[in-house]
Amino acid sequence: MFDFGRKISLFILIILVLMYLIWTMDHSSYSMKIDLNASSKIDILKIKRPSVSGKLDKMKMKHPYCFSKNLFDGSKEYSIDIVRHMSPLHLVAQYKLIGKDVMANSSILYNHLCPYIQKDRYNCARNESDILEYGDNPTDWKLTLKLPNDHGYERSDRPIENGISNSSGDCNLWNLVHDIGGPVGVAESVMELQQTSHHKDDQSNLAEKDTSGRKGKNQRPYIVLIAGNSYLRQIFEAISCGWFNDVTDYRAMIGSYYCDSIECRKKKLKERGGLKYEPNEVGNITSLLEKVKTSCYMNESCTRHKSKNKFYRPGVTVPPPRQDIFGEDVSDNIAMVEFGRKIQFYFIFHPNRYNVTRLFEEKLNLDFGDVDKLIWNCIDDPDLEMKQIFKSTGVWQTRSIWPYKKFRFIQSRDIGRWFGADNPWIYDVPDTHACLPGPPDDEVNLILFLILSNAFVT
């Protein structure tokens, strides 16, 4: 009787153990699913699971502060589905004298002799005998990001880099962007994050999205639209020249009737009562990449032209007119540059001066709904149809209203000066337009950082 009771008890115990083991396996599987789903909501610094992107894992280890949620309003955690608002630039940005310390031989990737369009008025070029002290050149200073003090980010909470806690909390944007591979590397990283997201719609959660008619993310490059005044033109020229080795397409206006001069604009206003250009007046926006590859820049046969001497200091090699490079006069009032077939940057100078709907359809072959990131500094609202579509995709609500004046403020605060253009053509030095190369390269780095971080700035 006693043995029979023991056998029954043992049998029940075995059954209970088996049931527990089965329940544990099921629960582990369920927990794994929960963890994987939740991982997209965890601060990118705290993700423990192996990332699908080995490159991003390396970036997080090497540049931990660049991935901190504390750089964003409300310390919002990273998610491919939530576009975050970056903290005010003057609170998190700082210029540092580190031009000699950034990645070797890449602090200046171009100069005023860039083969792509670069306006002469932006240059600060000097001849080889006119060497300035370290710290007096615009490219000696680099924009960094610091964790703001008011986030209550304690020293003991700071992430560890290479086994050592870095209490300074700096994000070296220059090194981050160059380590990841520039525009191509940023685009590849974003595409990988989008592909692994558990949600197919990858825009902002701030608005309902209408994705009808939009090309799939995997079927086209990532698209950035830069629309506004000449300060944004400098960004477009800086990224075209700064990453010229990765350019796979470059388009600009040829044969345009667009008025650049003040006198011409006044005449047009008087004749027409406005400056709204139709597509037939824009000319052709065609690929110029092959012309650049066969230009005088490639075989170093460019000749000096006295007509441009007024923009350059004595002894500086003067670039040739655009006609010598492209065969005819061109303009980047409307332009596009593509890198690695992965990412495209469009620039439109004062978009409200065009019939923008027809411009996109007939000249750019671009759908408003395909724009992924909008950089904007126009005073006026855009075309109604453009704005409606941008609102439906969430791009308008999460546009970066570019804080150009803050760059000037931060440089003056941290350096004691602003590196504005100072060539002989400028009568009031420094110009409000920055030296190129110079601060616009920092603006490019910030835009690429915003793309990588799924964020915007105002």
Tens of pLDDT, residues 258-311: 776 667 767 766 676 666 778 888 889 999 999 988 888 777 777 777 778 999
Rounded average pLDDT over 105-123: 82
Closest by CA position to 96, among listed 446, 457, 442? 442
The predicted structure's pLDDT at residue 157: 42
Nearest 5 degrees, angle CA 396-CA 398-CA 401?
85
Cα distances (Å, whole numbers) of residue 365 to 190, 218, 391 = 24, 18, 20
Average pLDDT, the chain: 80
Whether the per-residue pLDDT at 386 is higher than 70: the answer is: yes
pLDDT tens-place string over residues 310-325: 999 999 989 888 888 8
| CB neighbour list of residue 289: distance below 8 Å, 6 or more residues apart | 247, 248, 249, 250
Instruction: Write down the residue that tokens 């909390």 correspond to.
Output: 169
The predicted structure's pLDDT at residue 160: 42
The predicted structure's pLDDT at residue 261: 65
Cα distances (Å, whole numbers) of residue 372 to 14, 272, 450 = 59, 35, 12
Rounded average pLDDT over 346-358: 91
Written as six digits, the tokens of 444 are 């490019």
